[in-house]
Structure 1
């Protein structure tokens, strides 16, 4: 699995679809991070989603990590586990590996009203620390909110506007461990 650091067009087109060169932070099997690159023809309709922070499936040669290839048949559970480990390394003060895996295995998707969202001014590994408070849909009358501090990539900021309904993943009974679930093109430390 790799996380996009930068993207640029190579100048090659196939049926009007451009080839992109992705510079990636890739996750090795041992949990270390290394830099590599991948080239791929991307449909014009998918170009907007190819943003820094997005996870993409890759395969690489352990003896030559300079170039990787797109993985068309990724192992989803392995990818989720590696992404959880990567995010724990990237933001050690955020959710633990066990909490992230529990959210993946036992979490449920819900709509929530974003009551407040404030950047703290701290930046870590290219993401912004933020304080967020949500209220689960259908529970607005109770006035019960869940708050937590988390890290978000720059690409997610335009979606996290107080007063908006957002998708979250929560563990029933432990809703204070929520994560935002955005389009995969903006997800990073979110879900």
Structure 2
């Protein structure tokens, strides 16, 4: 879409400048007293001025991230593109700002819907209040095009269900969880639990450590039962399951031996 708009504006600019030059070069004065500069200083001078202004505006506002920031939506070419998971590798200010909000270029390692990993970048406007949330290792949902894997856009659809589904599928592929545990997290009762013990067996998968967490889970009626939960966590999230911490757990009433912990991805 952006390319089409730019092509149209470029065509208009070429036509406008061509008409202006043709008129100036072929102009013949109406009388001997008519100034020669009127060949160039006349109403047609507006054509190249308008063309230049159109070129500047179109090439600025169709830059990656600018149009999305103005509309609050992904651009047409990414709106229905596959949803992937982008892990932030690095980020930097591009020098562009919109309403005092900086445009940031984010370098990602992206896991596509098919499980393939590729590097990509995205330029997006980040509100100053959210800039501190960006850090290497943060996982964000992104839209990508298989035919242009090096460029992605942050997912602006607000579809949390699709984002969670993509995360679940990724965790299952990597062996961090199972379809059965995903089902418990989706259908089970949400309850508060206190961490009573924490064991680290030493197993590591893709940089995630396996932990076994002993829990005292409070049922909706106030009664308590004990159980344990196995989970793979990144090093930065281990602090969320230290002994004494209150966590959110899900379980099915008919099987209280299987408890699933709910810990935010970027906790």
Question: Matched residue pairs, number?
Answer: 181
After TM superposition, which residue ranges in structure 1, 4 or more long, deviate above 6 angstroms?
none
Mapped to 2, the partners of 1:140 and 1:53 lie a distance apart of: 38
Match of 1:39 in 2: 123
Question: Aligned-pair distance for 1:141?
Answer: 7.0
More strand by share: 1
Question: Pick from 7, 12, 26: which aligns with 2:111?
Answer: 26
Q: Highest Rg: 1 or 2?
A: 2
Corresponding residue for residue 90 of structure 2: 7
> CA contact under 8 A between 2:192 and 2:217: conserved in structure 1?
yes
Secondary structure at the counterpart of residue 230 of structure 2: strand
Cα shift at 1:85:
1.6
Question: Among 143, 146, 150, which residue is 1:59 paired with?
Answer: 143
Q: Shift in Å at residue 153 of structure 1?
A: 1.1
C-alpha RMSD of matched pairs (Å):
2.8
State the TM-score, normalizing by the size of structure 2.
0.58
CA contact (8 A) 2:86 2:142 kept: no
Contact 1:49 1:184 in 2 (8 A): no
- Asked whether the equivalents of residues 49 and 185 of structure 1 are also in contact (C-alpha less than 8 Å), the reply is no
- Where structure 1 has 5 or more consecutive residues not aligned to the other structure, the ranges are 187-191
TM-score under structure 1 length normalisation: 0.77
Q: CA deviation at 1:181?
A: 2.4
Measured after TM superposition, the shift of residue 68 of structure 1 is 0.4
What CA deviation, in whole Å up to 9, does each residue of 1:129-166 have, x standing for no partner?
A: 11111111369975x32113220112212222101211
For the structure 1 residues 100 and 18, does the alpha-carbon distance in structure 2 shift closer, same or farther, using more than 3 Å as the test? farther
Q: Following TM superposition, by how much is the alpha carbon of 1:70 offset from its aligned partner in structure 2, in angstroms?
A: 1.3
* More helix by percentage: 2
Gap regions ≥5 residues in structure 2 = 1-83
